[in-house]
Amino acid sequence: MTDFEKLGLFYLGKHYDQENQKVEDSLLMYDSKDLVTHGVCMGMTGSGKTGLCVSLIEEAAIDNIPVIAIDPKGDIVNLLLTFPGLSKEEFLPWVTADEASQKGISKDELAQKKADLWKNGLADWGQQPERIKLFADSAERMLYTPGSSSARPISILKSFTRPADMEDFEAVADRVSTLVSGLLGLLDIDSDPLTSKEHILLSNIIQSEWQSGRDVPIEQLIALIQDPPMSKIGAFDVEAYYPKKARFKLATSINNLIASPQFAIWTTGDSINIDDLFYTKDGKPRISILSIAHLDDKERMFFVTLLLNELVSWMRQQSGTSSLRCLLYMDEIFGYLPPVANPPSKKLFLTLLKQARAFGLGLLLATQNPGDLDYKALGNVGTWFIGRLQAERDKEKVLEGLVTANSGANSTEISKKLSGLGKRVFMLNNASDSMPVLFHTRWALSYLAGPIMKNRFKELIGDIPRTQTTETVGTAAGGVGIGAAAAVPAASTRPVLSPDIRQIFVPGGGKLYEPQVAGIADVLYKDSKLGISVTKQQKYLTNLSTHVDWATNMPLEFELDELESEPRENIGFSEIEAEVNAKTVKTWETDFKQWLYSGNPLTVFTCPSLEEVSNSDEDERAFRVRISQQAREQRDQFLEKIRDDYEKEIVSLEKQRARAESKAATQQAQASSHTMGTVISVGTSILGSLFGSRRGYSGIARSAQRVGTTMKERREADAAIKEIEAVDAKLLEIEEEINKKLEAYQNADTVEIVPVEVNPNKTDINVREVALAWVPMGE
């Protein structure tokens, strides 16, 4: 598989000869760029739809494409079942005693049979155990359970946060509308944006607060319902439009919801951060599986709506690209994008289908029936994977779409092919290809154990640290608190210091103010070779002691004008156990400046091969993600140029070979097995990978194999065979040329990121503040 592994080509299976019910040798390679225009996978239960979608996600991971996968049934959790050893011991926990009993064997024997089945199945499709490891190592797989602590929980609190970009009024209005619809749906309240008074009231409240620069925590929303921030809704006074008594009833309903023990889990865990769902902290791609099988229908809709809201906002912050950047997959989309009804998720899905392609965000949606999907949605999907369908009306709907999409297509022939689809056999209709093709899906790298429910999740992921999103009372809000609180005795009053000693108070609540030292400075970092010249404000807190050590610090995450000059009421003071006077403050300042000069460099990241340097506000993850995407775009352009450079020549050779084959067949000639073997190897390697799925190239290997059978039944025709051999030799020569170009090309996986430290000059350090800082601590 190494010929195409890093070419942006997804190995999904092999072409299929339906007439002879035979899997052909030529590989079905799907260009990842085509998924930018989205895909839909249709097929009844037992069609092989899940295996195909799992395989496609595996290919995306191998190509370093991050994936968010919404899993309503538990099938996609199978992506966590990767067993590179293909041993009985690996499979044993995931086979059932019931299945073993039905087969009349022990669990150990069943596990061995499964291991052998997977080993042989992978080998039959040209995949070695090393490819399982390659998949597992290429992307981090994470399992999330919103509304449950069975895996990694997700908090919804961030969804009510004011978006950073408020200038796009339409986008903000859409975000508010879908957010409110999801919340009201959870309460079983009419959520029509045009007719529901509850929807209109809540939308006006949230928009009013956001426009005033304030977030709307869900607890605050309850108070705002009773005392709205606006006096009118449209032309009506708020009281006339929605009386106080009715507002109290609505507020009570929401309060009952958030007060319930079941809702508490929704407020803990990781926030819905799309960057974190797509990438690890160091920029490695992630497959985030969001299991929602344990939720009821209302909770599922609520969560999916919040997720899509965040995804739309994230999408609009990305740069444009023609290459696939990331993938959103949803299994069993029934009810979320229906043709008639308008659930909160529908508008968001339609927005993504229309706009996401410009940003490299591909959608892959799976369903059992084409009737589950809105017709406008299907019109925005470039790739259809069509498996065996259950109802005749489903086939008719698909046939209509295929004939419309492929001018000149023979509807009778396509209908016959649709009716003849067997298990794991799919029709691929790709807007980039001239006509639909049939293929048989490859063997999945992941073990397909069937739906996995949340009671087994701990076996898959072990104990995952929980992320507490709610702020801990008494800890300074800037993440400060490096002093050892328990060892400091309390003073009854504020310590008396010289008025010359500058004192500041860090905002926050707590029992005691603890003394620390704050340093704030503007530092210019510049490096002409790297093209860097940026001023950074450095703000730190460190422990107050006899010898202040700035190397042991914590960031001070408040602006200078946010620091307070007086203490807050009802907070006591810890004693100061170190000497504090004008001289010590001067020493603090001198030491602070020296540390900024020698011990606090600016780390920038460089990519020598692409001649790129990280921006001033770009951390390592963001830079790695940007460089990876840039390298992927260059790779796609490089491959497209190869296709363009060799397209005409290959078409000409293919036609020449077809004429020679026809001549040989007419003369009843027999080609040598050596010649035919050469052609098939060409069709299944680089040429087949790069050109096999494109317009006009699907016959490279398959026609050769069919004619080979015919030619073996006929007598030798030397002239025709020599011509075929000459064409084959030229094809091999072209393949060798392409191979050399590919080997010389540095793809996205070999791009090196080099950190570089930039130290400031002393004259470029402007210390703005060094002061005694009082930090509130304790509960």
* Phi, psi values for residue 320, rounded to 5°: -75, 150
* Residue 717 CA: distances (Å) to CA of 666, 680, 723: 9, 20, 10
Please check whether residue 8 is in contact with residue 31, taking contact to mean a CB–CB distance below 8 angstroms. yes
pLDDT class of 667 with cuts at 50, 70, 90: low
* Amino acid at position 769, single letter: E
Judge whether residue 654 has pLDDT over 90: no
3 state DSSP class of 588: helix
- Among residues of the chain, what percentage have pLDDT more than 70? 88
Q: Where are the domains of the chain?
A: 9-79+141-153+285-466, 157-268, 485-601+762-777, 623-750
Length of the chain counted residue by residue: 779
Please check whether residue 518 is in contact with residue 769, taking contact to mean a CB–CB distance below 8 angstroms. yes
CA distance 561 to 572: 23
Mean pLDDT of the chain: 87
Please check whether residue 538 is in contact with residue 520, taking contact to mean a CB–CB distance below 8 angstroms. yes
* Residue 757 CA: distances (Å) to CA of 156, 239, 244, 532, 606: 38, 61, 61, 12, 11
561 burial class (0-12, 13-18, 19+ CB within 10 angstroms)? exposed
Q: Match 């009778």 to its residue by tokens.
A: 412
Residue of 47, 49, 58 lying closest to 11 (CA atoms)? 58
* Amino acid at position 111, single letter: A
Topology given in CATH for the domain delimited by 9-79+141-153+285-466: Rossmann fold (3.40.50)
Q: Give mean pLDDT, residues 500-515.
A: 91
Sheet of strand 383-386: strand arrangement: 22-31, 9-17, 437-441, 425-430, 383-386, 39-42, 361-367, 326-330, 67-71, 286-291, 140-144
Please check whether residue 602 is in contact with residue 758, taking contact to mean a CB–CB distance below 8 angstroms. yes
Antiparallel, parallel or unpaired: β 602-607 and 612-613: antiparallel
Task: Write down the pLDDT at residue 688.
Answer: 67
Rg over CA atoms, the chain: 32
Q: What are 564-591's pLDDT values in tens digits?
A: 999 998 899 999 988 999 999 999 999 9
Judge whether residue 696 has pLDDT over 50: no
pLDDT class of 3 with cuts at 50, 70, 90: low
Greater pLDDT, 408 or 759: 759
3 state DSSP class of 666: helix
pLDDT class of 164 with cuts at 50, 70, 90: confident
Q: Give the single-character DSSP code of 425.
A: E
Q: Give the single-character DSSP code of 371.
A: G
750 burial class (0-12, 13-18, 19+ CB within 10 angstroms)? exposed
Q: What are 279-315's pLDDT values in tens digits?
A: 999 999 999 999 999 999 999 999 999 999 999 999 9
773 forms bridges with which residues in the sheet? 504, 516
Q: What are 712-741's pLDDT values in tens digits?
A: 444 455 777 888 888 888 888 888 888 888
CA distance 173 to 677: 62
- Among residues of the chain, what percentage have pLDDT more than 90? 63
Task: Write down the pLDDT at residue 283.
Answer: 93
Instruction: Provide, for the chain, the percentages of residues in helix, strand and coil under a 3-state DSSP scheme, each rounded to the nearest 5.
Output: 45, 20, 35
Lowest mean pLDDT among 94-98, 164-168, 753-757: 164-168
Task: Write down the pLDDT at residue 71.
Answer: 98
pLDDT class of 151 with cuts at 50, 70, 90: very high
pLDDT class of 679 with cuts at 50, 70, 90: very low
Q: Where are the alpha helices (DSSP H) in 268-315?
A: 274-278, 297-315
CA distance 335 to 332: 9
| One-character DSSP codes across 96-117 | -HHHHHHHTS-HHHHHHHHHHH
CA distance 612 to 27: 37
pLDDT class of 609 with cuts at 50, 70, 90: confident
* C-alpha dihedral sign at 335, 341, 345, 350: positive
